[in-house]
Amino acid sequence: MEGNQDLLNVTGRIHQLVEYGIFTVDELSQIQSFCRDEISRLDSSGFIEREEINWGAYKIREQMTGDEIDEAMARSMTGEFNNSDDIAEIYKQRLDISYEVIKDLFGSYQQMKIFIGANEKRLFFLFEDETEKKYYTLDNNLRKEEITKGEFDNYKTGYNEGLKTVLDEHIRLHDPTTSNTETFMLRNTFYDMLNEQRPKYPNLVISFNPAIHTSDEMFEVSCANGSSFKASYKHRLTFIMILGYYQGKDFVGIQGRGFYDRNGLCPPGC
């Protein structure tokens, strides 16, 4: 039997539960209603959804240094992005990287450079395997998806000529010599946490919430040649990351620890 394997897995589980007498007509009616609602949601022009996150329920730390930000700072950073009239709504969606993709990636890497891409619909997270000379999209999927070098470059161009131009204009009001983020680092900070939670939450993801650094603080930036310099990350794009899972119609954040990237942003430090 051929077809979409994810669909076959879902329908196979439903069939199994019916066979075992665990699902009855009532449960199947709920599934039918759920599917109708999802079709309506896909057909709606207002498909973008952003749940309000209670940042007070999380301890948000920089993923390399462990520097913690408080609830007010997390709200300030996400609000700076989501409340901007200059940033198109298509860029304000939450992005996920699924447990399946993370497990695949961190079987080989301790940290990865993620390129930011975009098309006319949304942002993308991109990865270049320099050893194998292969290119992938990582987000909003149950497996990393291989793409061509041309597609990889087109996604990067879509970001550089789209959202990044808006972010560049904003940051250059404060520092005319710089430009905004093109890549960020994803470290294996969440990996053990994901493995701990996986038995309980099968639809587990890392949720990436776009944000803008708002702190004036200066930080030490290390270069590949061993030198370092002081720089501010203010006005730079980043993502605040939390764990969550899908349950019915809802995305449920797992309260506790969260992380964001600062020291891995490029620029500065490219």
SS3 assignment for the chain:
CCCCHHHHHHHHHHHHHHHCCCCCHHHHHHHHHHHHHHHHHHHCCCCCCCCCCCHHHEEEEECCCCCEECHHHHHHHHHHHHCCCCCCHHHHCCEEEEHHHHHHHCCCCCEEEEEEEECCCCEEEEEEECCCCEEEECCCCCCCEEECHHHHHHHHHHHHCCHHHHHHHHHHCCCCCCCCCCEEEEEHHHHHHHHHHCCCCCCEEEEEEEEECCCCCEEEEECCCCCEEEEECCCCEEEEEEEEEEECCEEEEEEEEEEECCCCCECCCC
Please check whether residue 269 lies inside any domain of the structure: no
User: Which tens digits make up the pLDDT trace of 64-114?
Assistant: 888 999 999 999 999 999 999 999 999 999 999 999 999 999 877 888 999
Whether residue 122 sits in one domain with residue 164: yes
pLDDT band per the 50, 70, 90 thresholds, residue 43: confident
- Based on the domain organization, do 40 and 57 belong to the same domain? no
Same domain, 40 and 73: no
Task: Indicate the number of domains in the chain.
Answer: 2
Q: Which residues contact 114 (CB under 8 A, 6 or more apart)?
A: 125, 126, 127, 138, 183, 184, 185, 186
Confidence check: pLDDT of 268 > 60: no
Q: CA gyration radius for the chain?
A: 20
Phi, psi (degrees; rounded to nearest 5) at 182: -110, -25
Separation CA 164–CA 70 (nearest Å) = 27
pLDDT value of residue 1? 41
Please give the structure tokens belonging to residue 155: 């996604």
pLDDT tens, position by position, 217-260: 877 766 666 777 777 788 999 999 999 999 888 899 999 999 99
Amino acid 232: pLDDT: 77
Mean pLDDT comparison of 127-131, 148-152, 174-178, 184-188, highest-scoring range: 148-152
Instruction: Tell me if 268 is assigned to some domain.
Output: no
In whole angstroms, give the CA distance from residue 19 to residue 180.
55
Q: Where a domain ends, among 31, 47, 63?
A: 47
In a domain, 266, yes or no: no
183 with 70, same domain: the answer is: yes
Asked if residue 91 and residue 16 are part of one domain, the reply reads no
Do 32 and 141 belong to one domain? no
17 with 85, same domain: the answer is: no
Residues 59 and 7 in one domain: no
- Which of 118, 96, 98, 115 is closest to 49 using CA atoms? 96
Range of the domain at 8: 1-47
User: Closest Cα to residue 155, out of 136, 168, 181?
Assistant: 136
8 lies in the same domain as 77: no
